[in-house]
Amino acid sequence: MSQIDVTSNQVTDTRAQVPVLQKGAYGAGTLTLNLLPGALGVFSFFLITAFGMDPFLAGLLGGLPRLFDAITDPIMGFITDNTKSRWGRRRPYIVVGAILSGVFFALLWQLDPEASQEYNFWYFLIFSLIFTIGNTMFATPFVGLGYEMTSDYNERTRLMAFANTLGQVAWMIVPWFWVLIADPDLFSSQAEGVQQLSLFVAGACITLGILPGLFCKGIDASDMGNRAEISFSTIFSNLKEVFKGIRQVFKNKPFVRLCGATFLVFNGFQLVSSFAFFIIVFHMFDGNYGATGTWPAWFATVSAIVTAFVVIPVITVMANKWGKRNAFIISTAISIVGYALKWWGFDPSNPWMIFMPIPLMSFGIGGLFTLMMSMTADVCDMDELDNGMPRKEGTFGAIYWLMVKIGQALALILGGLVLKLIGFDPGLSAQSAETITSLRLADIIIPASTAFLAILVMWNYDLTEEKARKIKDKLVELRGEL
């Protein structure tokens, strides 16, 4: 059975359609995937203010787990690609990983503000590394599962659009954690706010995170040959296979372009992500935090709402009509215009103008993960044709998200460097006019420049819909339907 996709004039096999229940479950997992790092980013700020951690040590606590990620992600990708169980390659890890992620996230933040700095440093570091293992067990198979839930070119975009729409709910919620934790009417101290709120975040992540493991369907491992044996006795031989898989992944030129463009767009966006807060406080409200109120939180929340309910649906239509590469280039170009409009949007005489650039600016991140995750699924087909079984969705997902994490870490470092170079001091109640102007220009020029470079990277991306469908047909001819 098949149906016509009215936007692309291509026939979509109904067997490749993902049921709404499974899309919803995968969307719940995407919400978890966003909520954990989002909450972690907010809570980490309070390591300094609530628990008295030295800023340098706090920076180490943020960076060391990312280095650990660089080791665990590819290994987990290999394990999940080669696992055979009655529940599939991904689902058992997703369920166990979601539970471990939630439990250890809660334990991570039960720091004692009265304990010594040395005790809290080692407590947080140890539990952070354990949490990273649990999160890797959840995130890597989860991303790989999304790549294999459908074999249809356009249905992949629709799945990722649906999932990322639900995932944006996390970014609607996270900005308000700042407000809740600092509210003396809710919590007696910031430390108590972090401790209590972490329990709610953990509970939500466990509840939502297990859903894709329970309801989503991936490829049956019994359909695959050439799987490596996963056991303690094969650890060293498997490590060789891990590095072999990584080399194969990086030989895939379309995938390298996807990673490069993602690194540029996301790194540019993340590098200046805190600048909007500082501009609102120091440019629009002259350093008066009381007058600033909840404007920064609303700016972030409205951005997420527009991304979820306006931008992602539009990008989905664009991708189905004009192709994923063209949709990425157009959406990224639109975001550059949005970044430029921030110069007029941050107007001290009219705070409501801060929402003006959001509809255009949101096309950057809104298009990025919806399209890139869909295109990575196409790349997995190409890799199977080139390198055979087993399919490596887990490895591709691990490497892709490792690029995202490296971009996040680099953005934290470079963001602080930019603030220092322009002479910005958040401890001062007022900044010089020159500093504010430099801050505003950096807030526009940096993400616009990286977005433009990403367009150049993707300009010659050649895995078109026609080519992707030919690859799929060839794979079916060689090994049948999975």
C-alpha–C-alpha distance, residues 396 and 157, integer Å: 17
Amino acid 225: pLDDT? 57
Range from 56-70, 161-175, 393-407 that averages highest in pLDDT: 161-175
CA 372, 373, 377 angle in degrees (round to 5)? 115
Can you tell me the distance from the alpha carbon of 298 to that of 303, in angstroms, rounded to the nearest whole number? 8
**What span, in angstroms and rounded, lies between the C-alpha atoms of 451 and 265?**
5
In a 3-state reduction of DSSP, which class is residue 12?
strand
Which CATH number is 237-481's, of 1.10.287.1770, 3.30.2130.10, 1.20.1250.20, 3.40.50.300? 1.20.1250.20
Separation of alpha carbons 4 and 2, rounded Å: 7
pLDDT for 5 equals 46
Is 14 exposed, middle or buried, given 0-12, 13-18 or 19+ CB atoms closer than 10 A? exposed
Alpha-carbon separation of residue 270 from 176, 219, 393, 463 (angstroms) = 18, 34, 26, 28
Mean pLDDT is lowest, of 355-359, 433-437, 451-455, for 433-437
Q: Is the dihedral of CA 131, 84, 220, 478 positive or negative?
A: positive
Lowest-pLDDT choice from 40-54, 184-198, 230-244: 230-244
Confidence of residue 241 (pLDDT cuts 50, 70, 90): low
At 319-333, the pLDDT tens digits run 999 999 999 999 999
- For range 64-72, the mean pLDDT: 81
**Domain range list for the chain:** 17-217, 237-481
* Position 229 pLDDT exceeds 70: no
Higher pLDDT, 219 or 102: 102
Query: Rounded to an integer, what distance in angstroms lies between the CA atom of residue 164 and that of residue 277?
Result: 24
- pLDDT score of 77 more than 60: yes
End-to-end CA distance of the chain: 16
Instruction: Give per-residue pLDDT as tens, 338-377.
Output: 999 999 999 999 999 999 999 999 999 888 889 998 999 8
- Given a contact cutoff of 8 angstroms between Cβ atoms, the answer to whether 325 and 464 are in contact is yes
Q: Taking a C-beta distance cutoff of 8 angstroms, is the pair 382, 471 a contact?
A: yes
Residue with tokens 């030295």: 54
Q: How sure is the predictor about 202, in pLDDT bands with cuts at 50, 70 and 90?
A: very high
Q: pLDDT confidence of 6, banded at 50, 70, 90?
A: very low
What is the rounded average pLDDT for all residues in the chain?
Answer: 86
pLDDT higher than 60, residue 70: yes
Q: How much is the average pLDDT of 90-108? A: 95
Report yes or no: 171 and 181 within 8 Å, Cβ to Cβ.
no
Is 109:195 a contact under the CB 8 Å cutoff?
yes
Other CB atoms within a 10 A radius of the CB of residue 69 amount to 24
- Give the containing element (helix H, strand E) for 3: strand 2-5
Check: CATH 1.20.1250.20 for 17-217? yes
And the tokens for 207? 């509840």
Does 274 score more than 80 pLDDT? no
Tell me: pLDDT of 126 over 70.
yes
The pair of three-digit structure tokens given for residue 301, joined into one six-digit string: 């929340």
Nearest to 212 by CA among 440, 436, 1, 33: 33
Give the predicted TM-score (pTM) of the model: 0.85
Q: What's the CA gap between 148 and 219, in Å, rounded?
A: 6
Query: Tell me, what DSSP letter sits at residue 162?
Result: H
Mean pLDDT throughout 226-238?
57
For range 368-391, the mean pLDDT: 87
Task: State whether residue 5 is helix, strand or coil.
Answer: strand
**Spatial separation of the C-alpha atoms in residues 174 and 163, rounded to whole Å:** 18
Question: How many degrees, rounded to 5, is the angle at CA 407 between CA 370 and CA 143?
Answer: 40
- Helix ranges (H only) for 272-392 are 275-279, 289-292, 295-306, 312-322, 324-345, 358-361, 363-387
pLDDT top residue among 204 and 184: 204
What's the distance, CA 256 to chain centroid? 18
Q: Which two tokens stand for residue 148?
A: 């294999």
Given this model, what pLDDT does residue 479 score?
A: 75
Mean of pLDDT values over 101-107: 95
Instruction: Say what the pLDDT of residue 13 is.
Output: 59
| 425 vs 108: CA distance, rounded Å | 30
- Give residue 480's pLDDT: 72
What share of the chain has pLDDT > 70, as a percent?
Answer: 91
Give the model's confidence band at 11: pLDDT under 50 very low, under 70 low, under 90 confident, else very high.
Answer: very low
The confidence score (pLDDT) of residue 9 equals: 47
